Structure 1
């Protein structure tokens, strides 16, 4: 488990998710696009969810548990980035389709019976 340090706060997150968030946050902030990011808190914390305003003025530090970088799923990153551009902000969602968009569409097609 890694940690997202945002200002004076720190949030535990899976390394895989954190790597994707680093990509999206970096791209959005380079373009000067601030946004809300929200996610459900771990049930054991007793909290419902978190929401933070991601802005260039707040220090961000991604701390990974593993030394080896994860392989990025660009389809998932694109989905998350699209959410970040909408009014509700980036609502963190699970990586439910590990394949690229084109591959997922093809694998979802029913096979014709002979």
Structure 2
């Protein structure tokens, strides 16, 4: 399980670790460009139902923590899908991993 600590919020945000590793790349890219945007996700099964959205801004402290010490192999297609949503007016909507289903 990965955890996102955002601003002065007392409750950490728990996300699946692989998803958080991919989000970290997209979020860091956007914030490095001084771009603000929203991040939305569906709550985990062990949390009350629903979804949440936060406003990400370069001036707000942000920390990612991971249970696994090794960085997973990243899926470039998933990063691109997340970046595409980050650049939309709706912000990042955490979607399931995108896999290449073509057969070469």
Aligned pair 1:14/2:16, yes or no?
A: yes
- Compute the displacement of 1:47 (Å): 3.6
Question: Could you say which residue in structure 2 is the equivalent of 1:112?
Answer: none
Aligned-partner Cα distance in 2 for 1:84–1:41? 19
Aligned-partner Cα distance in 1 for 2:44–2:33? 31
Name stretches of at least 5 consecutive residues in structure 1 with no aligned partner.
110-114
Aligned-partner Cα distance in 2 for 1:81–1:96? 12
Q: SS of 1:45's equivalent?
A: coil
Q: SS of 1:75's equivalent?
A: helix
How many residue pairs match? The answer is: 102
Give CA-to-partner distance per residue, 1:42-70, whole Å, 9 cap, x none. 24322411100010111110000001111
- Compute the displacement of 1:41 (Å): 0.8
Question: Could you say which residue in structure 2 is the equivalent of 1:3?
Answer: 3
Name stretches of at least 5 consecutive residues in structure 2 with no aligned partner.
none
Question: Could you say which residue in structure 2 is the equivalent of 1:68?
Answer: 70
- Compute the displacement of 1:81 (Å): 0.5
Larger radius of gyration: 1
- Compute the displacement of 1:12 (Å): 0.9
Q: 1 or 2, which has the higher helix percentage? A: 1
Aligned-partner Cα distance in 1 for 2:67–2:16? 9
Runs of 4+ residues deviating >6 angstroms: none
Question: Could you say which residue in structure 1 is the equivalent of 2:80?
Answer: 78
Match of 1:92 among 91, 94, 99: 94
Q: SS of 2:64's equivalent?
A: strand
CA RMSD of aligned residues (A): 1.5
